[in-house]
């Protein structure tokens, strides 16, 4: 079964409310037109986040949909930025706008997922996107913490998948600075995400399915 087939099954299986399943289907249709590599990346991140969330006893449905839609902001950018070719510093700055764009696309419809998407590059030092200060002031602390936990899980899944599959220098240009051939990915992740060893190990274990 392909990633796409598995993801479509999961969308139906999760029976997401508030039209989240419909939003996900529209996203997959749009992203498949000119951003095929981004689509496959989002599908893997969704499956990876779901599997790791199950091990970590986190909200599996939230992890899946946050993983699937985390890069929806890339729809606003030229497809050539994501074709696994070389990128320069100016192009990297352009790519960094996708986190805020994701939040702006989703916030009127799926606020929890919008916040996760906006934060997924901001949960590590020198990241970008939304900040935790922008979480809704009227939300209970428990719900805010859930957003941060899911966004952090998606962030780790995002980097692990990119390090495992991306051929361009995009990962090198990022703040994580890991190359595909780097043998110390776990150490670099631990440095980037202090005190998240349990989450990192769960993601790396789940990722074995995708790099076999």
Instruction: Name the token pair of 142.
Output: 């428990």
CA distance 107 to 99: 12
Cα–Cα distance for residue pair 148/132, rounded to 1 Å = 8
The 3-state secondary structure of 62-122 reads: HHHHHHHHCCHHHHHCCHHHHCCCCCCHHHHHHHCCHHHHHHHHHCCCCHHHHHHHHHCCC
- Dist CA 57 CA 51 (whole Å): 10
Residue 137 clears pLDDT 90, i.e. is over it: yes
Backbone angles phi, psi at 28, to 5 degrees: -65, -35
CATH number at residue 143: 1.10.3210
- 6-15: per-residue pLDDT in tens? 999 999 999 8
Question: 84-119: per-residue pLDDT in tens?
Answer: 778 889 999 999 999 999 999 999 999 999 999 999
pLDDT tens digits for 162-212?
988 876 544 444 544 444 444 588 998 999 999 999 999 999 999 998 876
Q: Specify whether the CB–CB gap between 120 and 70 falls below 8 A.
A: yes
pLDDT for 3-44, tens place per residue?
999 999 999 999 877 799 999 999 999 999 999 999 999 999
If one counts the domains in the chain, the total is 1
> Distance between CA atoms of 14 and 62, rounded to whole angstroms?
10
The token duo for 40 is: 């496959």
Averaged pLDDT of the chain: 91
Entry pTM: 0.92
Domain boundaries, position 180: 3-211
């Amino acid at each position: 079964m392909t990633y796409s087939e598995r993801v479509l099954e999961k969308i139906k299986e999760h029976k997401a409310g508030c039209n989240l399943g419909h939003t996900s289907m529209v996203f997959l249709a749009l992203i498949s037109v000119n951003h095929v590599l981004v689509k496959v990346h989002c599908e893997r991140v969704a499956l990876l986040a779901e599997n790791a969330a199950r091990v970590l006893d986190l909200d599996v449905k939230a992890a899946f949909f946050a993983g699937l839609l985390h890069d929806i902001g890339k729809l606003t950018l030229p497809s050539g930025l994501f074709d696994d070719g070389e990128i320069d510093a100016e192009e990297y700055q352009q790519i960094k706008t996708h986190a805020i764009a994701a939040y702006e696309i989703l916030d009127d419809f799926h606020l929890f997922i919008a916040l996760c998407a906006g934060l997924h590059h901001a949960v590590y030092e020198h990241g970008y996107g939304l900040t935790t200060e922008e979480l809704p002031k009227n939300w209970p602390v428990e719900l805010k913490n859930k957003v941060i936990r899911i966004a952090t899980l998606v962030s780790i899944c995002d980097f692990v998948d990119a390090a495992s599959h991306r051929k361009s220098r995009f990962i090198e240009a990022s703040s994580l600075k890991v190359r595909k051939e780097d043998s110390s990915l776990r150490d670099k992740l631990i440095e980037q995400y202090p005190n998240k060893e349990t989450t990192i190990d769960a993601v790396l274990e789940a990722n074995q399915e995708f790099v076999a």
